Each structure stands twice: as C-alpha cells, then as structure tokens.
Structure 1
C-alpha cells in the first residue's frame, strides 16, 4: 500500500510541475515515477501517510486565514527555529512535512538537516512586553 502512495505522490509532483494532462505526459510521468530510485529505509506506516494527507487538508484553510491575518495585522518579527523531524520518516513523508510547513504564509523551511531537524523561518506579530 505504501508503494502505491509513494507512486501517487511522485505522479502528483510530476503533474504539478508540468501542468499538462495529455496522454504523452501521463505516460512520461508514470515512467519517471517508476524509474526513480526507491528508498529502502524503514517503510512508512499507512497511519503516517493518512495523517500527512489530513494535514494537507487542514493546511489549506489555515493558509487562507494566515494570509488574511498578514494583510490586516502586520507581522514584523522574524524567528528562525529548529524543529525535530518525527521519528522513522520516509523521504516521501519528510517531503510532505516540508510542504506543509512551507505551504502556510507565515512559515518556510530554510534547510533540512540530515541529523533530523528542520530549520524553519517564521514571521509573527511582536508580543507586547
């Protein structure tokens, strides 16, 4: 089941990059998705994939809310923090985690450290002291 989710993720990235639904593009996308090397680290559990997909569904309205907040209430303070990667994440799940963090307007992943950390840039409102 995880291999199918990995294949679907690769095809989704391909179609987002090419924005072409022609038969030739579909054949090329399937071919590339099948030829890309597979990761043979610990297999991701179906539960982790479902949580990541649910996170995408939740991130869409959150992104709109944050965009409106930034428009009407200026965010002029910046932080760079380190966030721990969840244990036993496959490369596909790490990609989805980075996508979710970067999808919202207030955060962006600057770097993924191989030791298991994301370097995250955030904008926020300065808290009164």
Structure 2
C-alpha cells in the first residue's frame, strides 16, 4: 500500500513539472516513476504518510497567514538553525518534510545533511523592548 504512495508522489511531481496530461506523458511519467531508484529500500508506515499529508493541509492556511504578516509587519532578523530529521524517514517522507518547511514564507531548507539534519533559514520579527 505504502509503495503506491511513493509512486503517486513521484507521478505528482512529474505532472507538476511537465504540466501535461496527455497519454504519452502519463506513460512516460509511469516509466520514470518506476525507473527512479529507491522505491523498496526502507519500510514505510502509512501513519507517517497520513501525518505528513495532514501537516501539509494545516500548513496551507499558515502560509497565507505568514505571508500577510510579513507584508504588514517587517521581519528584520534572520536565523539559521539545524533541525533533526524524524527517525526512520524514507526519501519520499524526507522530501515531503522539506516541502512542508519550505512551503511557509518564513522558513526554507538550505541543505539536507545525510547524517539526519536539515539546515533551516528562518525570517523572524525583531522583538522591540
């Protein structure tokens, strides 16, 4: 079941990149999704996928709120932090985590370290005291 989610994620990315739903492109996308390495390397829990998809749905209104907040009140401070990757993440879930962090306007993943860390750039509002 979860292998299908990896396949669907790859096809979704393919269709977002090509923006073409012709029969030929669908066929090419399926071939590319199967040829990309890493489909069966790590066991995946369906609960993890559902949790990440739920977090993405919550991030959509949060992204709009942060965008308006940045426009209305200046954010002058920048910060770079290291955040730990959740344990036992597959490449597909790591991609979705990076997408989730980068989706909101105040944060972006600068680098993914293979030893299990994200380097995250934050834009913050300076506290006036």
The answer to whether residue 12 in structure 2 is matched with residue 12 in structure 1 is yes
1:37-84 Cα offsets, whole Å, 9 max, x none, are 125443110000000111111111111111000000111100000000
Matched residues in 1 for 2:126 and 2:6: separation? Answer: 40
Contact 2:83 2:120 (C-alpha < 8 Å) held by counterparts: yes
Paired residue secondary structure (2:87): coil
Residues 39, 90 of structure 1: 8 Å contact kept: no
Q: Structure 1 stretches (4+) deviating beyond 2 angstroms?
A: 38-42
Alpha-carbon separation, structure 2, partners of 1:108 and 1:70: 15
Query: What RMSD over aligned residues (CA atoms) do the two structures have, in Å?
Result: 1.0
TM-score (structure 1 length as normaliser): 0.96
| Unaligned runs of at least 5 residues, structure 1 | none
For normalisation by structure 2, the TM-score amounts to 0.96
Count, aligned residues: 129
Structure 2 stretches of 5 or more lacking a match? none
